[in-house]
């Protein structure tokens, strides 16, 4: 009600329906705030403003002006409504009703005075409270709030302060982690076995940290501020004073192990050594370390600058202090850490693989790729699982699938389709062809490729026709079952860790509240019933002991 009368209807629509933050300077130019002052002058500036307004009586004129209807003609109002509605629908895919409700109130009350507009606002938004989406989004808020307060350990342990960070590996992940650290004005020591990779990594770091959102380009002042914090080196001894050393080299246990043997003797007694591995057991990597209590996994997600989640992996001998320090460090660089006990796939990849594996099984059953993609996006996923294969890289997915198959052969099979795709050199966006064809690799949009049939047809088991709801069940029920196994094995401390991890790690739809929150809306008994038609597909659809017991007792994942 107030915003359109203060900053104009167009600005108000953008602010309220978009939900994005603006900086102080923009707020002043827009008229949303009166002045922009340094924090130390805030009290004095506020007092001066009050005294000035008391003399000029300008606040009374503002009150009268802001009480009137918004000054906008019908043509402009109609155009704003049409363009804003189309944009909101495109952004929310119809899953979030609040932005459209806000738009309707903003447009509908523009011709009313402030009192009548306020009544219209109250009436319109009352219907949104208590809806399933409202409850789900409130749950996501509480998930995030809980994570901010979580130290990562049950015991009262003080984390060690991290004043300098060392990173081995200057590739996409290493340089991304380094940039996140440098942005917080912490010094980074960086090295790579390949000099060209090291030079490229430094360039990527400086490009990212010098980027100015206002000018949408490199800022020389930011460059001068951050560049001295990056120490590119080929000398291991320069890591000796680092408080935390993160290894982000190739996913090969032998390569990682050799690196640890070389650098551990150089590190201080209190230095934490961590791996950014996404799949290799932390216990296995720590086998030859002399201080395994000071070793853990700190798994960032790609791209680091965009992905908020970090998995802190506790190995069999990792100390509470190491975990607490890793959690505090992740928060210090702007991430949301979740502590996971060591195990294949950790948390996110272990839950993601059943979903992606089932997408391949659906293809082999004859379900069209378009139908699979459409069902996943209708559920609320940011992209379909087949597109995700192309984005991740089919060779990468094949390796991850092998790890999961070795760990859980009873429910994660070796996909003949994935093997055939890799053999055919169809690795996804990076090679120009995967499940889709990519004419422009930079754009990232794929189009159907008739040549795909040459790989798929020989492997088809039939032509199954499934409804959209059945495809959704095939994709997401195995994920729910795997989550119950994770809870049974106590890989995480709370079901909420599962939900936040999937929302932040793979874009599980927030309007569902999280995987287990969504499961609670169905109820365990209903899920068991939904699994019945798929029992012939094997163990991956059989209720776990935990789910069966919950169905009998009526227990929910969110017990409190």
Tell me the C-alpha distance between 520 and 497, whole Å.
Answer: 15
Terminal-residue alpha carbon distance, the chain: 37
* Angle of CA points 502, 16, 115, to nearest 5°: 135
* DSSP H stretches of helix in 507-544: 515-522, 524-531
Closest CA to 315 of 280, 349, 348, 263: 280
User: Residues near 375 by Cβ (< 8 Å), separated by ≥ 6?
Assistant: 468, 471, 472, 475
For residue 299, indicate whether it is catalytic. yes
Tell me the C-alpha distance between 298 and 303, whole Å.
Answer: 15
Closest CA to 403 of 251, 232, 287: 251
Q: Is 312 helix (H, G, I), strand (E, B) or coil?
A: strand
At residue 148, what are phi and psi to the nearest 5 degrees? -65, -30
DSSP summary character for residue 238: G
Strand partners, 190: 167, 232
**Catalytic residue selected from 67, 95, 299, 405:** 299
Tell me the C-alpha distance between 8 and 6, whole Å.
Answer: 6
Closest CA to 498 of 396, 362, 346, 363: 346
Tell me the C-alpha distance between 329 and 323, whole Å.
Answer: 10
DSSP 536-556: GG-GGGSPPHHHHHHHHHT--
Q: 180 is written with which tokens?
A: 């996140």
Tell me the C-alpha distance between 247 and 274, whole Å.
Answer: 6
**Sign of the alpha-carbon dihedral angle for 180, 181, 187, 189:** negative
DSSP 64-108: HHHHSPP---HHHHHHHHHHHHHHHHHHHTT--HHHHHHHHHHHH
Length of the chain: 560
Tell me the C-alpha distance between 440 and 364, whole Å.
Answer: 28
Task: Spell out where 187-335 has E strands.
Answer: 188-191, 211-212, 217-218, 230-232, 244-247, 272-275, 295-300, 309-314
Tell me the C-alpha distance between 114 and 121, whole Å.
Answer: 10
Residues identified as active-site: 299
């Amino acid at each position: 009600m107030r915003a359109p009368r203060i900053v104009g209807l167009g600005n108000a629509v953008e602010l309220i329906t978009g939900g994005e933050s603006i900086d102080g300077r923009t707020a002043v130019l827009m008229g949303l705030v009166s002045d922009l002052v340094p924090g130390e002058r805030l009290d004095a500036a506020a007092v001066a403003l009050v005294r000035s307004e008391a003399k000029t009586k300008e606040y009374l004129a503002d009150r009268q002006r802001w009480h009137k209807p918004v000054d906008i003609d019908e043509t402009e109002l109609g155009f704003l409504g049409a363009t804003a509605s189309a944009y909101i629908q495109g952004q929310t895919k119809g899953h979030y009703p609040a932005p459209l409700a806000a738009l309707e109130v903003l447009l509908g009350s523009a011709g009313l005075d402030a009192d009548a507009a306020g009544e219209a606002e109250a009436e319109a938004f009352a219907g949104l409270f208590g809806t399933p989406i409202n409850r789900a989004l409130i749950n996501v808020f509480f998930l995030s709030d809980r994570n901010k307060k979580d130290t990562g350990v049950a015991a009262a342990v003080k984390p060690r302060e991290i004043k300098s960070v060392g990173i081995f590996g200057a590739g996409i992940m290493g340089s991304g982690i380094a940039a996140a650290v440098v942005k917080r004005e912490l010094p980074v020591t960086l090295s790579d076995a390949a000099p060209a990779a090291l030079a490229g990594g430094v360039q990527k770091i400086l490009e990212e940290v010098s980027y100015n959102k206002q000018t949408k380009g490199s800022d020389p002042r930011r460059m001068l501020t951050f560049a001295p914090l990056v120490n590119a080196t080929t000398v291991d001894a320069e890591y000796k004073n680092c408080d935390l050393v993160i290894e982000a080299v190739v996913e090969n246990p032998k390569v990682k192990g050799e690196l640890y043997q070389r650098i551990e003797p150089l590190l201080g007694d209190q230095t934490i050594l961590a791996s950014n591995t996404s799949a290799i057991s932390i216990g296995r990597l720590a086998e030859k370390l002399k201080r395994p209590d000071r070793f853990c996994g700190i798994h960032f997600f790609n791209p680091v600058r965009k992905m908020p989640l970090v998995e802190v992996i506790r190995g069999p001998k990792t100390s509470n202090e190491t975990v607490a320090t890793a959690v505090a460090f992740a928060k210090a660089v702007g991430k949301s850490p979740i502590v996971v006990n060591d195990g294949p796939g950790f948390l996110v990849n272990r839950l993601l693989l059943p979903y992606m594996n089932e997408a391949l099984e659906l293809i082999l059953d004859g379900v069209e790729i378009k139908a699979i993609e459409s069902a996943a996006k209708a559920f609320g996923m940011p992209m379909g699982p087949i597109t995700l294969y192309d984005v991740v890289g089919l060779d990468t997915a094949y390796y991850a699938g092998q790890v999961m198959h070795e760990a859980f052969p009873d429910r994660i099979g070796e996909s003949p389709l994935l093997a055939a795709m890799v053999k055919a050199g169809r690795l996804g966006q990076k090679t120009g062809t995967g499940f889709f064809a990519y004419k422009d690799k930079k754009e990232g949009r794929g189009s159907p490729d008739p040549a795909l049939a040459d790989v798929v047809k020989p492997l088809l088991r039939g032509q199954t026709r499934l409804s959209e709801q059945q495809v959704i069940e095939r994709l997401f029920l195995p994920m729910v079952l795997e989550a119950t196994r994770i809870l049974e094995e106590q890989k995480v401390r709370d079901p909420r860790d599962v939900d936040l991890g999937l929302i932040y790690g793979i874009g599980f739809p927030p309007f569902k509240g999280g995987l287990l929150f969504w499961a609670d809306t169905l109820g365990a008994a209903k899920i068991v019933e939904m699994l019945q038609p798929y029992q012939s597909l094997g163990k991956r659809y059989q209720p776990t002991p935990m789910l069966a017991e919950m169905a009998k007792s009526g227990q929910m994942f969110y017990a409190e």
